[in-house]
Each structure stands twice: as C-alpha cells, then as structure tokens.
Amino acid sequence: MRFAVVLVGAGSCDIMGKELLEIGSKESHQEREMPNANAPATSQTSATQPAHATRAARLARAAIFTSVLAGVSYLLAAAHVPCGFARMFHVPCPGCGSTRAMLALAHGDLNGLVHNNPLAPLMTLLVVALASQALASVLATGTFRRVGDGTIGLVVSRGVMVVGGLEVLVWIARFAGFLGGPVPV
C-alpha cells in the first residue's frame, strides 16, 4: 500500500479535507512517498552516497574504538585508574587486584597472581574476546549490534557471568579470612 503526502507551499484546504485550494504555483507542490514500516529494510546508502563512504565510516569508527581501547589498556597497565568502588566504600571490589594480578603474571610472579586475583587471567581472556568481537562488529556494521552474536558471543557472555560469579565468591571468601584476606586497596 502506498501513501502520498502533498506538501503545499502556500495552500489551504477546507475543514473536511475534500477540496484543496491552490494559492501557490503548481511547481511549488511536491509529492513524496511515506515510509512503510512493514516494508523490508533497505540499504542506507543512496545513489548520491558511494559505497566506499560507508566502508570509510566503518573504518573510522573502528580506528576510534581501537584508539580508545588502547588508551584504556595503557591506563590500566600503568595503574593510573583507581577502583571507584574501593574509593567510595573503602573496601576492595570483587575485581580489585585484577590489574596487579595481570602485571604479576606478565612478570612471571604466580604468587602475586594468586594473592591479588586468581581469576584475573580468565576474565582478561574473556574481555579480550569481547573487545575483538566488538571490533569485528564495528568493522562489519559500523555499530556494536553484533557483539554477543553467534557461538563466540554465547561462550563469552556466559563465561563473563560464570567468572564474575566466581569473583564474587572469592571476594566473600577473602572477607571470611580465606585466600590471604582482602586485597589491599
């Protein structure tokens, strides 16, 4: 079903809409098709916008995402990002010690890894997989819509929930005096 809207530059119509009085010239009238919400989605590129512009936009978004990810990774590795939970509540959060644990692992210090956060390597792998999937989604669609799709997305999302739950259990166990007590803030 097609709908049409008549845009009248300087015109009027009677109250019932039966009669259209033209005051302006016929060239000032334009007929436009209304969008049909039930119609299948079409590509957003038009004849005036070349296909490579969309690809260029996706590449630009991917470059921005990669830059932000690199900046956050640098700040975390340099230990410049304090834990907001610890600052607000003066107790370590369930993930506190993850950065120190990964730095200890990078230096081969397994004791430091276990002391700070033994689940940090698993969560780091899941976050890297999620970031890789996010980058692939931005390259493919220009958005983050496909993050979490497919088998990898299912494994990563469930893995984050499981490891996050285990981190909460380790956190509670530390406050009970196990695993060397709470991580220093």
Task: Tell whether 107 is covered by a domain.
Answer: yes
- 59 and 124 share one domain: yes
DSSP characters over 31-56:
EEEPPPTTSPP--S--TTS-HHHHHH
Of the candidates 121, 130, 165, the one whose C-alpha atom is nearest the C-alpha of residue 150 is 130
Q: How far apart are CA 168 and CA 180, in angstroms?
A: 16
- The pLDDT of residue 33 is 57
Q: What is the mean pLDDT of each run of 10 residues along the chain (185 residues)?
A: 39 40 45 56 51 78 93 83 86 88 91 91 93 91 87 91 94 87 81
Domain that residue 56 falls in? 52-180
Task: Tell whether 46 is covered by a domain.
Answer: no
- 172 and 93 share one domain: yes
Task: Tell whether 87 is covered by a domain.
Answer: yes
Task: Tell whether 57 is covered by a domain.
Answer: yes
Q: How many domains does the chain have?
A: 2
- The pLDDT of residue 84 is 83
Q: How far apart are CA 56 and CA 145, in angstroms?
A: 18
- 144 and 58 share one domain: yes
